[in-house]
Amino acid sequence: MNWEQFAMKVQAISKIGKLFSEDPFAVENYEELETLSIEMLNKKVLSDPIVSNVYERSIYPTPNVSVRTMVFNESNQLLMVQEKDDGGWSLPGGWCDVYESPTESAIKEVRQESGCIVQIDSLLGVFFRDKYKAQMKSLISEYVIYFKATLIGGELKANHEILDVNFFDLENLPNLSFKNSKEEIERALLGLESPRIQFD
């Protein structure tokens, strides 16, 4: 755990403590922890200062959830999209939206980012993304769900977040975006070769 993650952990604990504690002295201590974590994050990490707990929702703080989908063409090439954020390539995917299942989110993200229409075939893995991130773009912890899907329609077309869309040989993948990593993709590929779902 790096110190940014430590500060976010303290912030999550303070949020939980304020939410569930009935002892005024304990609440006061949790509020102090929250203030210290905010000061730490503002001093070391954030370009835009925050004035309140990052976990503003009045529920138990949990990781964000995202999806990534492996789609292959008839030549067994992997569908990838080029991200505007950093120019690197990733499997189509993104954050899961509320009131949508992971499968629904995965299908939607593939269609929006690549123009391809797919059906989800199987779950490949569930990973703790914090282990694989090369850089901190979000302070909130993240789980990512990897799926395999079959291409059933559409045509390659990038949206406003994507520079380009293409299929690549597995042995010659392009430079990757920070939005996924070589280790994640390799583990997801193991899920293709084995009936055992990969997970952290």
Separation between Cα atoms, residue 180 and residue 69, nearest integer Å? 11
Whether residue 88 contacts residue 164, with contact meaning beta carbons closer than 8 Å, is answered with no
Whether residue 98 contacts residue 108, with contact meaning beta carbons closer than 8 Å, is answered with no
Separation between Cα atoms, residue 189 and residue 169, nearest integer Å? 13
Sign of CA dihedral 24, 27, 33, 39: negative
Paired sense of beta strands 116-128 and 78-83, if any: unpaired
pLDDT in tens, 121-167: 999 999 999 998 876 667 788 999 999 999 999 999 999 999 999 99
Say yes or no to pLDDT of 89 above 90: yes
pTM of the model: 0.80
pLDDT in tens, 37-76: 999 888 866 677 888 888 877 678 889 999 999 999 999 9
pLDDT in tens, 3-37: 888 888 899 999 999 988 999 999 999 999 999 99
